[in-house]
Amino acid sequence: MNERSKYGIPHPVETACPLPLNSMVDIRVSELEQVTLVEVIGRVDSLNADELGTSLSNAIDEGNTNIVLDLSQVSYMSSAGLRELVSAFKKVRRVSGDLRIAQPSTRVQEVLEMAGLDTIFQIFPTQTDAVGSY
C-alpha cells in the first residue's frame, strides 16, 4: 500500500525507466535499403539535443543522403531539438540529399506545425511510407 503525504495524497510509485536518467533520449541509426533510418526515443531537450544533431551530422558526413527520422516515440521536443533538425536538413540539402520525418508523435507534430516546419519537411504517416518515398 502506498504511503500518503500529510495532505492525504499517495506518494508516487517508482517505476523502472528504460532510458538512462542523464540522457532521456535514445538514438538508433540503421541502414534500410538505400535509406539511413534514425529512430529517436524519449525527450529531446536543451540538455541532449546535441546528441541528435551529432547523430544526424555523422550520418551525413558518412555519405548518407537519404535520411528518415522516425519521431514516433518522442514525447517532447524543445526548440533546441528543432534547431538540430533544421541544421541537419540544411546540411543534407547542400549535398543533394533529403531528411524526411516519419510518424511524429502527436506532441511533436503540434510543435512542428507551430514552428511552421511542417511546410519545410516532408512528413509521412508511417516509417514504411517515408522509406518508400526515396
pLDDT tens readout for residues 55-92? 999 999 999 999 999 999 999 999 999 999 999 999 99
Amino acid of residue 49: A
Is the Cβ–Cβ distance between 86 and 123 less than 8 Å? no
The pTM of the full predicted model, rounded to 2 decimals, is: 0.80
- What gap in Å lies between CA 12 and CA 2, rounded to an integer? 8
- What gap in Å lies between CA 40 and CA 27, rounded to an integer? 5
Residue 49's pLDDT is 96
Q: What domains lie within the chain, and their CATH numbers?
A: 26-132 (3.30.750.24)
- Write the DSSP symbol of residue 18: S
76 contacts: CB under 8 Å, gap ≥ 6 = 43, 44, 45, 107, 108
